[in-house]
Amino acid sequence: MCAKKVDAIVIGAGWAGSILAKELTEAGLSVVMLERGDERATAVEGDYPTSIDELRGAIRHRLFQNLSQSTVTIRNMPDQEALPYRRLAAFLPGEGVGGAGLHWSGVHFRVAPDDLALRTNVVARYGKNFIPEGMNLQDYGVTYEELEPFFDKAEKVFGTSGEPYTIKGKIAGNGNRFAPDRSDAFPLPAMGEVYSASLFRSAAANVGYHPYALPAANASAQYTNPYGVQMGPCNFCGYCSGYDCYMYSKASPNVNILPALRQDPKFTLITKAHVLKVNLDADKKKATGVSYLDLRTKKQVELDADLVIISAFQFHNVHLMLLSGIGQPYDPQQNTGTVGRNFVYQTITTSRAWLSPKQYTNLFVGAGGAGVAIDDFNSMNFDHGPLGFVGGSPVWVNQAGVKPIAAAIGGPGGKAPTWGEGYKDAMVDTYRHSLTIDAHGSNMAYRDVYLDLDPTYSNAYGQPLLRMTFNWKDNDIRMNQYVVGKIEPIIKAMGATRYSLGMLKDGEVFDTRRYQTTHLGGGAIMGTDPKTSCVNRYLQSWDVSNVFVIGASAFPQGMGYNPTGMVAALAYWAAYHIRTTYLKNPGPMVQA
């Protein structure tokens, strides 16, 4: 039987996939986007008040991956047996149209330019020996100046709210003074600041730091983006992370791209289509298409294409490459191969300050992307020389709206009793009068932290699960401890009545049972050397030139910023070069 043929297949209907599908249909290609989850329409299931049901939403995982069909196995050390991640906790991959881009919070950063060439910068400033043994520190192979137009484009599509520092070299606002220069203003002004954020702003400034409004893909006003789609303004209801936004004010592929994309007759979206593998020709140099399982009919379907875009969630991208035989799997013993190499995460710890009973922080109020941050201890913005570690953390009050069940699960914190009247009083005190400050930091890549195929466990379709080997390392623990130490004077300047500092402990092992962040990265990293990277600077596979792998899987190491802004910019960057170069002359865009 002949397989159907289209110009391009896009795997995954999240941000990366939706951006690529939009760009490729604009270029005149017929595009089929395959999504293994359900159709998700914010105007239907995300409508008010249906969407803001915490039990059904964040607690019972309405928008998250169904682990009963496929999951990952996890272990801390290479000598351990990995076990399946059967209950969502540490990280929350999405499923269904919009992917994790539907249930994200909305913090929408660009990148710290120094992070794009972190190895070069660390070596230049501190010498090669500064890099700890076993750390695979690498450059992205692309500069901020090259990416800037695509950050700008992504912000305009997302309807991002923020305050600039400089535009075209001139000071244009009271934004982040460590942020790189911009070609244009944010499309919307910064979000309003809740009480806790404004307290943090003044206290941080009093201590001598440089507070700024978090750039948020939560619309601060009504907005129409370049695709003509419309957003309502955020009302700080707090149902961002884990939810579809009934105000249409949190950017998502569903609200910001797909309404326009769906009008294009060259675009086809197929849901309940679980891609089993990318099919390659005999010498594994060209992809011929994909095989997917139609989850409705349980039948395998072959679909041919000239171009295959792997743009699922970070670790699904790596999994699909390993299952398809694209590139050489990483071998930590021999230190050969690239697929699965440089798997990274993010460090995040939360500190809490309690204020006087007259000061109401009302933790139920908030917006997922809004808040006030400092970058004084992020990236290369401070002297690492005497500190002896690589990396850094932004520090912020990002009051995203703590829902009642989540607040109860989190407990009152501090030294409160665990039951009875004292517990209840402390819960109320914490919910009304406390605030939290996060250190949301980088995580470097290491030789013995990686992704490969699990030898024991398989998914519902008989394919081996992806195995994560991950643990915290001394460099990142010390970085976190150092930055958290800088939070203490801010809390004191706020006039807190009491506080607790959250930080990684010496020798702490990664615990999968507690939510940390969904900001997983690496495993199919970009770079300039095919021996140490999976894809070139255009996110094109070194090995199979008609395959592009788009997403946080391309990050060589975990950065302090949230990844979505960078993912979107890389997606537009790759799409631009596919449109302007690759399609005219298909083949490798960088010679290996």
Partner 1 sequence: MKYGLFTRAAFFGVAALLAGSVSELRAEDTSALIAQGKYVAEASDCSACHTVRGRGEFAGGMEFKLPIGSIYSSNITPDPTHGIGAYSEAEFSRAVREGVRRDGASLYPAMPFPSYARMSDGDIHALYVYFMKGVQPVAQAVPPNGIPWPLSIRLPMSVWRAVFSPSVVAAQKDVNRSLPDGIRRGAYLVEGPGHCGACHSPRGMALQEKALSNSSGSLFLSGGAAIDGFVPTSLRQDQRTGLAGWSEDDIVQFLATGRNRRGEAFGGMTDAIFHGTQHLTDADLHAMARYLLSLQSHQPTLSAWHYDPSAATALQAGDASAQGAKVYVDHCAACHRSDGRGYAPAFPPLAGNPVLMSDDPASLVHVVQSGAVLPGMIKAPSAFAMPAYSGILSSQQIADVVTFIRKAWGNNAAPVTAATVEELRKSAPEPTIQKGIIPLN
Specify whether the CB–CB gap between 555 and 344 falls below 8 A. Answer: yes
CB of 97 to partner 1, least distance (A): 8
Q: What letter represents residue 440's amino acid?
A: H
Q: For residue 91, give every residue at least 6 positions away whose Cβ sits within 8 Å of its Cβ, in sequence order, or none.
A: 345, 515, 516, 517, 518, 519, 520
- CA pair distance 277, 459, nearest whole angstrom: 14
Site string for partner 1, 250-269 (x = CB under 8 A): ----xx--xxx-xx------
Nearer to partner 1, 237 or 310 (CB): 237
CB of 214 to partner 1, least distance (A): 22
Nearer to partner 1, 247 or 370 (CB): 247
Active-site hit among 274, 433, 519, 577: 519
Taking alpha carbons only, the member of 284, 283, 282, 302 closest to residue 292 is: 302
Check residue 370 for interaction with partner 1 (CB under 8 A).
no
Taking alpha carbons only, the member of 227, 232, 234 closest to residue 258 is: 227
SS3 174: coil
CB of 252 to partner 1, least distance (A): 9
| Cβ count near 96 (within 10 Å) | 25
Q: Which of 25, 42, 324, 475 touches partner 1 (CB under 8 A)?
A: 42
Kindly give the pairing relationship between strand 498-500 and strand 347-354: antiparallel
CB of 34 to partner 1, least distance (A): 17
Check residue 15 for interaction with partner 1 (CB under 8 A).
no
**Own/partner pairs for 414-419, CB < 8 Å, 24+ apart?**
414/352, 414/354, 414/498, 414/500
* Of 151-159, 244-252, 370-378, 477-485: span binding partner 1 (CB under 8 A): 244-252
Nearer to partner 1, 5 or 432 (CB): 432
Check residue 336 for interaction with partner 1 (CB under 8 A).
no
Site string for partner 1, 204-243 (x = CB under 8 A): ------------------x----xxxxxxx-x-x------
In 84-223, which ranges are continuous DSSP H helix? 100-103, 113-116, 118-126, 144-158, 195-207
Nearer to partner 1, 233 or 551 (CB): 233
Nearer to partner 1, 266 or 537 (CB): 266
Q: Which of 43, 77, 405, 509 touches partner 1 (CB under 8 A)?
A: 43
Q: For residue 362, give every residue at least 6 positions away whose Cβ sits within 8 Å of its Cβ, in sequence order, or none.
A: 194, 195, 432
Taking alpha carbons only, the member of 120, 552, 577, 586 closest to residue 310 is: 552
Check residue 524 for interaction with partner 1 (CB under 8 A).
no
| Cβ count near 60 (within 10 Å) | 10
Nearer to partner 1, 134 or 232 (CB): 232
* Subset of 263-322 contacting partner 1 (CB under 8 A): 263
Check residue 149 for interaction with partner 1 (CB under 8 A).
no
* Of 47-55, 103-111, 123-131, 483-491: span binding partner 1 (CB under 8 A): 47-55
- CA pair distance 305, 195, nearest whole angstrom: 53
CB of 221 to partner 1, least distance (A): 8
Nearer to partner 1, 50 or 336 (CB): 50
Q: Which of 4, 28, 47, 360 touches partner 1 (CB under 8 A)?
A: 47
CB of 244 to partner 1, least distance (A): 10
210 has catalytic annotation:
no
CB of 243 to partner 1, least distance (A): 14
Q: What letter represents residue 86's amino acid?
A: R
Taking alpha carbons only, the member of 89, 101, 363, 90 closest to residue 243 is: 101
Cα 33 → chain centroid: 21
* Residues with a known catalytic role: 519
Residues of this chain that interact with partner 1 (CB under 8 A) are: 39, 41-44, 47-50, 222, 227-233, 235, 237, 246-248, 254-255, 258-260, 262-263
